[in-house]
C-alpha cells in the first residue's frame, strides 16, 4: 500500500503542479508579448511622425541621414509607380484611339457608299425634274430636290388648290409635281 501512496503522490505532483506553473507561464508569456507589441507600436508611431517631418528634434545627424535615405527611397518608388500608371493609361488611350480611328474609317466608308446611293437618287430626281416627269413636289424655295431651306419650315394640314381665274384646270386633277396617292395633302 505504501507503494500505491507514493505513486499517487508522484502523480499529483506531476499532474497538478505543472498545470499551475503552465498557466502562470502562459500568463507571463502573454504579458511579455503585450509589452513587446506595445514597444513596437510606439516605435512605429515615432517612425511615422519622423517620416511626416514631425518630432525631429531628438534625432542626431546619423538618424536624420537614415530618415533622408528612407524618404528618398519612398519618393523614388512613388515616382516609379506614378510613371507606370501614366504609361498604362497612355497605352489604354492609344488602344482607344486606334479603335475609334478604325470605327471612323468604317463609318466613313459606309457614309461614302450611302452618299453614292444618295447621289444616284439625286441624279434620278434631277433627270425626272428636267424632263417634267417627276412625281416629287418641290417647295417654292427649292431649286432642286436636295436643295433644302436651312430654316425650319412646318406646314401641317390640308393644302387646298385654287386655280387662277380663267384657268381651265379642274381641282380634281393632279397638279404637276403632286402624287395621286393623297391629293391635296402636303407631305
Which carries the bigger pLDDT value, residue 16 or residue 86? 86
DSSP 187: -
pLDDT tens digits, 36-85: 999 999 999 998 998 888 888 888 999 999 989 999 999 999 999 999 99
Residue 63: name the closest of 92, 43, 85 by CA: 43
166 phi-psi bin (left φ>0, alpha ψ -120 to 50, beta other): left
Query: Which residues face 185 on adjacent strands?
Result: 158
pLDDT tens digits, 97-118: 999 999 999 988 888 888 788 7
Is the per-residue pLDDT at 33 higher than 90?
yes
Query: Do the beta carbons of residue 43 and residue 55 sit within 8 Å?
Result: no
Residue 171: name the closest of 158, 184, 180 by CA: 184
pLDDT tens digits, 125-174: 777 655 555 555 555 555 555 555 556 656 666 555 555 555 554 444 44
- Average pLDDT, whole number, for the chain? 76
Amino acid at each position: 500500500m505504501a507503494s500505491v501512496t507514493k505513486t499517487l503522490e508522484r502523480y499529483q505532483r506531476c499532474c497538478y503542479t505543472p498545470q499551475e506553473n503552465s498557466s502562470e507561464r502562459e500568463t507571463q508569456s502573454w504579458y511579455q508579448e503585450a509589452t513587446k507589441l506595445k514597444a513596437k507600436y510606439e516605435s512605429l508611431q515615432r517612425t511615422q511622425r519622423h517620416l511626416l517631418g514631425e518630432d525631429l528634434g531628438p534625432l542626431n545627424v546619423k538618424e536624420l541621414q537614415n530618415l533622408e535615405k528612407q524618404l528618398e527611397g519612398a519618393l523614388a518608388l512613388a515616382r516609379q509607380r506614378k510613371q507606370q500608371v501614366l504609361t498604362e493609361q497612355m497605352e489604354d488611350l492609344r488602344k482607344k484611339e486606334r479603335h475609334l480611328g478604325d470605327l471612323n474609317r468604317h463609318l466613313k466608308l459606309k457614309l461614302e457608299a450611302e452618299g453614292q446611293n444618295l447621289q444616284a437618287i439625286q441624279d434620278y430626281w434631277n433627270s425626272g425634274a428636267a424632263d417634267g416627269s417627276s412625281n416629287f413636289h418641290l417647295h417654292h424655295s427649292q431649286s432642286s430636290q436636295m436643295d433644302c431651306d436651312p430654316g425650319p419650315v412646318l406646314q401641317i394640314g390640308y393644302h387646298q388648290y385654287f386655280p387662277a381665274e380663267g384657268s381651265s384646270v379642274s381641282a380634281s386633277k393632279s397638279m404637276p409635281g403632286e402624287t395621286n396617292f393623297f391629293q391635296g395633302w402636303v407631305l
